[in-house]
C-alpha cells in the first residue's frame, strides 16, 4: 500500500552507519547520537511480512516513547527527543545480546512449550497443573538471544548467559532487576486501562559511560501481550480463549493459513482488505494501551516528512 514506509535510505549530515532491523531502521550519527525510525514493517515468527501496515510505525514509536517517559523514574533510558511521529532520537549504546522476556501468565510461546510437555523454560520451572493463560505464582524471566533480521531468537537460561559470557553476572543481575521493575510499572499502567500485561520483552544497552539503559521499544503490541481484565476470570473458568490486545491475532491468522516461519513454508497472501483490518486493529491497540485517541500523521509523503522533521531538529 502506498501510504506506508517499508524501508529508508537517508543520508544525514554526520551519519556514520545504518542498521536495518526487523521493524526499525537505526542510524548512528556523530556525537554519539542514535536515530531510530519505526517503519510499517510487520514481523511475525521472526519473519518480515511482504507488505507494510498503515500507521503501524507511528503507533509503535508513540507507545514506546510515551511508556519510556512513564518509566524513566524507575529505569534510565536512551531517549532524548521525538521529532517526528515515526522517529526517536537518543544516546548511542552498545546493545546487550539478549532480550529480557518476562511472563506473568502462561501464554504464547510458554503455553506452546507447556502443551508439548515441557516444564522448564529457559531454566525456569513452570508449575504442574496450569492451563493456558493462567497466571504464574510470580512473573518468570525467560531470556532469548537476539537474532539478526530474519533469524529466530532462541531461548537461553540465566546460567548459560553468564557461563557463556553473553552478559557479565553483575550486569545480568541489573537487567533482571530493571526487567521486574518495568513489568511491575507496566502492569500498573495496564490495570488503569482495564488491561492485564501478560508478557513482554525489554532490551537494554550500555552507554559509553558504562550506564545500563533501556533501549528499543517498551509495552507496545509488538513486544507485549495484553488481556482485558473484564471477563478474564470467567473465560479461564470456562476454558475459553482470552480477549487480547497484541499482534497475536496476526500470528493466529498466519497459523490458520499454514505459516509458522518454518523452513519451506511460504508467507500467505495478505490482501489490501486484510492489511486494512490489521491497521485498524493496531489503532485500537494504541487507544486502549495509552488511553488516548490516535491522531493519524500526514502520510501523503512519509519519507519527505520524516527527513524534513529530522533536519529541522538537528539544524
The answer to whether position 130 is within a domain reads yes
The answer to whether position 260 is within a domain reads yes
User: DSSP class of residue 77?
Assistant: B
Mean pLDDT of 204-226: 93
**Do residues 184 and 283 share a domain?**
no
- ∠ CA 295-297-303, nearest 5°, is 160
Residue in 100, 120, 115 with CA at minimum distance from that of residue 186: 100
**Do residues 178 and 281 share a domain?**
no
Can you tell me which residue has the cell 538471544? 145
The answer to whether position 5 is within a domain reads no
For residue 315, name the pLDDT band (cuts at 50, 70, 90): confident
The answer to whether position 1 is within a domain reads no
- Which of 211, 245, 279 is at the close of a domain? 245
For residue 292, name the pLDDT band (cuts at 50, 70, 90): very high
Judge contact between 5 and 53, C-beta under 8 A: no
> Is residue 138 over pLDDT 70?
yes
- ∠ CA 56-262-153, nearest 5°, is 60
Mean pLDDT of 52-78: 96
Q: Structure pTM? A: 0.88
Question: Which pLDDT value is given to residue 151?
Answer: 53
Question: Which pLDDT value is given to residue 69?
Answer: 96
Residues 264, 231: Cα–Cα separation, whole Å: 40
Judge contact between 231 and 225, C-beta under 8 A: no
Cell, residue 37: 525510525
**Least confident piece of the model among 69-83, 145-159, 160-174:** 145-159
**Do residues 113 and 235 share a domain?**
yes
Residues 216, 206: Cα–Cα separation, whole Å: 13
- Which of 245, 271, 306 is at the close of a domain? 245
**Do residues 65 and 88 share a domain?**
yes
**Do residues 274 and 164 share a domain?**
no
**Do residues 61 and 136 share a domain?**
no
How many domains are contained in the chain?
2
Judge contact between 103 and 139, C-beta under 8 A: yes
Judge contact between 150 and 47, C-beta under 8 A: yes
The sign of the CA dihedral 69, 55, 295, 273 is: negative
- Which of 191, 217, 245 is at the close of a domain? 245
> Is residue 225 over pLDDT 70?
yes
> Is residue 57 over pLDDT 90?
yes
For residue 147, name the pLDDT band (cuts at 50, 70, 90): low
**Do residues 197 and 81 share a domain?**
no
Judge contact between 98 and 205, C-beta under 8 A: no
Judge contact between 36 and 24, C-beta under 8 A: yes
pLDDT in tens, 104-135: 999 989 999 999 999 999 999 999 999 999 99
**Do residues 182 and 226 share a domain?**
yes
159 vs 247, residue with greater confidence? 159
CATH for 150? 3.30.470.20
Domain of 19 in residue numbering reads as 15-93+253-314
- 144-145/124-125 β-pairing: unpaired
Mean pLDDT of 147-165: 81
Dump strand ranges (E) for the chain.
15-20, 24-29, 33-38, 43-44, 47-48, 79-84, 87-91, 94-95, 98-105, 120-121, 124-125, 135-141, 144-145, 154-155, 195-206, 212-215, 224-228, 244-245
Q: In sequence order, what are the residues at sequence separation of 6 or more whose Cβ sits closer than 8 angstroms to the Cβ of residue 20?
A: 7, 26, 149
How far are the Cα atoms of 50, 66, 181, 183, 196 from residue 191, in angstroms, in the given order? 35, 17, 15, 12, 6
The answer to whether position 8 is within a domain reads no
**Do residues 218 and 268 share a domain?**
no
**Do residues 198 and 279 share a domain?**
no
CATH for 46? 3.30.200.20
Question: Which pLDDT value is given to residue 2?
Answer: 59
**Do residues 115 and 222 share a domain?**
yes
**Do residues 178 and 310 share a domain?**
no
Amino acid at each position: 500500500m502506498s501510504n506506508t514506509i517499508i524501508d529508508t535510505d537517508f543520508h544525514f549530515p554526520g551519519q556514520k552507519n545504518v542498521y536495518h532491523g526487523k521493524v526499525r531502521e537505526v542510524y548512528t550519527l556523530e556525537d554519539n547520537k542514535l536515530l531510530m525510525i519505526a517503519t510499517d514493517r510487520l514481523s511475525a515468527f521472526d519473519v518480515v511480512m511482504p507488505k507494510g501496515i498503515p500507521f503501524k510505525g507511528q503507533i509503535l514509536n508513540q507507545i514506546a516513547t510515551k511508556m519510556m517517559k512513564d518509566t524513566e523514574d524507575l529505569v534510565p533510558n536512551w531517549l532524548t527527543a521525538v521529532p517526528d511521529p515515526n522517529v526517536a532520537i537518543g544516546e548511542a549504546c552498545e546493545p546487550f545480546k539478549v532480550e529480557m522476556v518476562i511472563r506473568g501468565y502462561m501464554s504464547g510461546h510458554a503455553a506452546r512449550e507447556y502443551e508439548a510437555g515441557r516444564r522448564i523454560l529457559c531454566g525456569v520451572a513452570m508449575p504442574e497443573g496450569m492451563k493456558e493463560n493462567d497466571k504464574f505464582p510470580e512473573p518468570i524471566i525467560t531470556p532469548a538471544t537476539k537474532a539478526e533480521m530474519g533469524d529466530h531468537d532462541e531461548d537461553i537460561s540465566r546460567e548459560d548467559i553468564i557461563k557463556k559470557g553473553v552478559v557479565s553476572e553483575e550486569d545480568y543481575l541489573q537487567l533482571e532487576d530493571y526487567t521486574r521493575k518495568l513489568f511491575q510499572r507496566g502492569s500498573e499502567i495496564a490495570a488503569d486501562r482495564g488491561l492485564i500485561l501478560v508478557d513482554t520483552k525489554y532490551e537494554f544497552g550500555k552507554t559509553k559511560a558504562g550506564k545500563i539503559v533501556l533501549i528499543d521499544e517498551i509495552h507496545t503490541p509488538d513486544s507485549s501481550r495484553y488481556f482485558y481484565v473484564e471477563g478474564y476470570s470467567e473465560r479461564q473458568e470456562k476454558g475459553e480463549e482470552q480477549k487480547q490486545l497484541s499482534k497475536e491475532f496476526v500470528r493466529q491468522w498466519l497459523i490458520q493459513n499454514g505459516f509458522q516461519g518454518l523452513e519451506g513454508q511460504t508467507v500467505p497472501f495478505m490482501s489490501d482488505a486484510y492489511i486494512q483490518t490489521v491497521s485498524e486493529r493496531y489503532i485500537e491497540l494504541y487507544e486502549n494501551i495509552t488511553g488516548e485517541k490516535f491522531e493519524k500523521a500526514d502520510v501523503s509523503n512519509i519519507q519527505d516528512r520524516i527527513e524534513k522533521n529530522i533536519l529541522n531538529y538537528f539544524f
